[in-house]
Structure 1
Amino acid sequence: MTDLTWPDAPGGRASGFIDGPAGAVEVDIELPKGHARGFVVVCHPHPQQGGTKDNKVVYMSARAAREAGLASLRFNFRGTGNSEGSYDEGRGEQDDLRAVRDWAAAQSGLELAGLAGFSFGSAAALRVAVADGAPSLVTIGLPTGYFDHEVPRPPGPWLAVYGDADEVIDVARAITTCRELDEPPELVVLEDAGHFLHGRLTELRSHLQDFWQTDTPAA
């Protein structure tokens, strides 16, 4: 069930469905006001804990991408919102991300500029970036406890954002784990910010915009 068409003008937007590995996937596309030099796919937090493509952190991340001259795509993982299928503990969700990424590349003629995710979604984005490669990666509130062994390091630029008062994950462990990687990501720690970055979304937007303007190639 595919009824989604790529917008045809700067600043355009579109919402609809594409075919995914577990059925229809619900997707929102928004273009920058000027020429898009690539696209970013943003993944939402845990679907069994209320996470959707409309989460405020996800929305602000997509906005930062557009302000950096990139098209943004937000989507609902399988079994979330109006996306078909059922929760797959992070496995099939990676394939949902791949489906959105590949559809966007084929329909838009643009190159992938990066993957991004918040919480559960950041783990999916990281795993796909490691397995498939990605020009850049943004993780927000990455729960490193999701990884049984060493957290993998994808090639390319990686921005990891945490709030040091995160009440959902073991943030001290997560930050230490990132810092101890052989090639640590660029790390931004927002002082006194919780997991959902309430009151700090403007700061998040600024950090992401700067990262994507600096660490993604010009078209």
Structure 2
Amino acid sequence: MSADPSFPSDDAFLEGKPASVTLAGPAGAIEAIVEGPEPDVPRRPLVAVICHPLPTEGGTMHNKVVTMTARALHQSGASTVRFNFRGVGASEGSFDDGNGEADDLRAVVAWVRRQKPDAQVWLAGFSFGSYVAYKVAAELKPGMLVMIAPPAGRGYGFDEVTPFDGPWLVVQGEADEVVDPQKVYAWVDGLAQPPELVRIPDTSHFFHRRLMDLRGAVKNGVRPYLPAADGSGDRTDA
């Protein structure tokens, strides 16, 4: 395994095919998929790293909410990196209750920044993955943080995390049967600098029959913060 495989070239992205890479992580190999933006949208100097839900409940980088989040970002001109936490798929190691998983995320972000030093790096995550992204956001200082159905009130110690102080979007289904929406709202309201909160009515934890609504919420929420397609770094609403 290469210790630092190359980020796929723009030519590879133009083929519209995901590229599988194996990264060196703190617990061994990390299995990841890199995808480029949709071919018919302006390309932006932006790579979003997306974290998947709870490994012990079957969460992987192929989860539908994760892949729909990636799709929304591709349609916004971003590249994405999805990866399996330790002990999932071909990623080595074993589940570590969010601590080792945060180290996995740090390793993936460090690789992206080495490979794409001129690009913004964003963090995103679904459920447990959103907690892991939040846990390291203040430290890693991404250009934006996107949290989908964050498991506030489920024993993860959200109140012990240093809050992120950059652009930040939270998307929550109002009929979530896994995460109590009211606890998510209370957590958001209690923050000194609360994120933008999008509530989607009649929506379960896994966004059954609401994935298109999720896609729209992510695209609309991130639009004001997208770097300019010309690479100047200026924000644009285009």
Q: Which interval holds the TM-score relative to the shorter structure?
A: over 0.9
Residue 200 of structure 2 is aligned to residue 190 of structure 1:
yes
> How far apart, CA to CA, are the structure 2 residues paired with 1:207 and 1:215?
14
For residues 3-46 of structure 1, what are the alpha-carbon distances to aligned partners after superposition, in whole Å with 9 as ceiling and x for unaligned? 84422124353102110110000000001125332100000000
| Structure 2 counterpart of 1:93 | 101
Structure 1 residues 178 and 148, CA, compared in 2 at 3 Å: closer, same or farther? closer
Please report how far the alpha carbon of residue 217 of structure 1 lies from its aligned counterpart in structure 2 after TM superposition: 2.6
Q: Counterpart of 2:159 in 1: which secondary structure?
A: coil
Distance in 2, Cα, partners of 1:179 & 1:148: 13
Match for residue 91 of structure 2? 83
Aligned residue for 1:115, secondary structure, equals strand
Q: How many residues align?
A: 219
Distance 1:179 1:126, change over 3 A: same
Residues 50-199 of structure 1: matches in 2 within 5 Å? 50-145=58-153, 146-147=156-157, 149=159, 152-199=162-209
> Does structure 2 retain, via aligned residues, the 8 Å contact 1:113–1:216?
no
Please, what TM-score do these two structures have when normalized by structure 1? 0.93
Shift in Å, 1:48: 0.4
Counterpart residue type for residue 212 of structure 2? T
Per the alignment, residue 28 of structure 1 pairs with 33
Does the 8 Å CA contact 2:113/2:121 hold for their aligned counterparts? no
Alignment TM-score, normalising by the size of structure 2: 0.86
Local SS of the residue matching 2:48: strand
Identity, % of aligned positions: 46
Unaligned 5+ runs, structure 2: 232-238
- Structure 1: runs of 5 or more not aligned: none
